[in-house]
């Protein structure tokens, strides 16, 4: 079953572009990453899904229901963490969370304690007295306290220190194991890489790539660095699939995309002292998509 489904979703702000013809779906139980640089259209897509803004054209469904028509009903099953959180600063954390919990028809007290404990959040402090990162934690607890079926996170880790980020990821994985579907927007690729099953890469309002995380990495090139015992002719590795070759002294660097056996045969015919074969990280793959289409 698809928990999220968007069809040709388009949003313009007056004459300027927000998002253009966005179509994707997220299956139940999936952790789906939405990655792209500032201004690409991540927040616009998310805000449309939450019916905080309305599409110019196209449509979106959550749990099989149109978001514009069933917004309030759908939102009860969603936990949303916006990219920027604003609160009534004078309230105590616990009062704000109890107020949030009152919108759902269940007792969330134990859950609030558990989440606050895990995220190391002092419930008795005034919101005004919290640091930016601690305010973010309030948003996290607020988004997860009703054990939503769908968790939508817009740049959720900004302001969290690495230890807290890890605790937060552990929490998300825990929720996902219990069945929650997660949509995770970010421009930080390493975190998307850690967590997500599938990603959509968004650029200037359009999805430029939609792929399983594993395929995204498999279908790309590998990086080779080879140290040889003696100097080679510069054309030795001039075979199909080899790119960006650099020969310096006895060391050759290149990237390779193609049948791995072809390049391994070439390597096995020479004497080498060391070899490194590396996968590009998501950052490099991402840069590749961006520069390729510019």
Ligand X SMILES: Nc1ncnc2c1ncn2[C@@H]1O[C@H](COP(=O)(O)OP(=O)(O)OP(=O)(O)O)[C@@H](O)[C@H]1O
Q: Out of 36, 55, 148, 156, point to the residue binding ligand X (CB under 6 A).
A: 36
What is the size of the binding site for ligand X (CB under 6 A)? 14
Query: CB–CB of 159/121 below 8 Å?
Result: no
State the nearest-atom distance from the C-beta of 13 to ligand X, in Å. 3
Using rule CB under 6 A, residue 139 touches ligand X: no
Number of neighbours of residue 159 by Cβ within 10 angstroms: 17
Question: ∠130-131-133 over CA atoms, to 5°?
Answer: 115
Q: What are phi and psi of 118, to 5 degrees?
A: -60, -40
Using rule CB under 6 A, residue 15 touches ligand X: no
* 11 versus 198: smaller Cβ distance to ligand X: 11
* 21 versus 147: smaller Cβ distance to ligand X: 21
- Burial label for 148, CB within 10 Å (0-12, 13-18, 19+), is buried
Report CA-CA distances (Å) from 256 to 55, 225, 231, 277: 42, 11, 20, 10
User: Token pair for residue 265?
Assistant: 């045969």
What pairing do the DSSP bridges indicate for beta strands 2-13 and 78-81?
A: unpaired
User: Token pair for residue 126?
Assistant: 């005034």
Q: Out of 5, 9, 30, 42, point to the residue binding ligand X (CB under 6 A).
A: 42
Using rule CB under 6 A, residue 103 touches ligand X: no
Q: Out of 15, 38, 102, 163, point to the residue binding ligand X (CB under 6 A).
A: 38
x-or-dash string of contact with ligand X, 178-197, rule CB under 6 A = ---------x----------
Using rule CB under 6 A, residue 40 touches ligand X: yes
Q: Out of 4, 20, 26, 41, point to the residue binding ligand X (CB under 6 A).
A: 41
- Which residues form the interface with ligand X (CB under 6 A)? 13, 16-18, 36, 38-44, 83, 187
């Amino acid at each position: 079953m698809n928990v999220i489904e968007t069809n040709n979703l388009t949003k313009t702000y007056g004459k300027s572009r927000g998002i253009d013809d966005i179509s994707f779906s997220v299956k139940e139980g999936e952790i789906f990453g939405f990655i792209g640089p500032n201004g690409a259209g991540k927040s616009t897509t998310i805000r449309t899904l939450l019916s905080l803004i309305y599409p110019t054209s196209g449509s979106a469904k959550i749990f099989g229901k149109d978001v514009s028509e069933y917004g309030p009903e759908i939102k009860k099953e969603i936990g949303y963490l916006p990219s920027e959180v604003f609160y009534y600063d004078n309230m105590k954390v616990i009062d704000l969370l109890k107020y949030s919990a009152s919108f759902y028809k269940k007792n969330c007290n134990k859950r609030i304690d558990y989440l606050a404990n895990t995220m190391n959040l002092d419930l008795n402090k005034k919101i005004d007295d919290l640091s930016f990162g601690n305010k973010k934690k309030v948003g996290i607890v607020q988004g997860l306290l009703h054990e939503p079926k769908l968790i939508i996170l817009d740049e959720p880790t900004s302001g969290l220190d690495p230890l807290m980020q890890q605790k937060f990821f552990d929490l998300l994985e825990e929720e996902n194991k219990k069945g929650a579907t997660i949509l995770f927007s970010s421009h930080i690729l390493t975190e998307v890489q850690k967590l997500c099953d599938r990603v959509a890469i968004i650029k200037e309002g359009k999805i430029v790539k939609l792929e399983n995380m594993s395929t995204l990495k498999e279908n790309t090139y590998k990086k080779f660095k080879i140290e040889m015992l003696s100097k080679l002719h510069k054309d030795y590795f001039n075979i199909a699939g080899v790119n960006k070759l650099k020969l310096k002294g006895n060391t050759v660097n290149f990237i390779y995309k193609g049948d791995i056996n072809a390049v391994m045969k070439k390597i096995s015919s020479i004497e080498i002292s060391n070899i490194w074969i590396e996968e590009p990280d998501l950052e490099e793959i991402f840069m590749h998509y961006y520069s390729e289409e510019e």
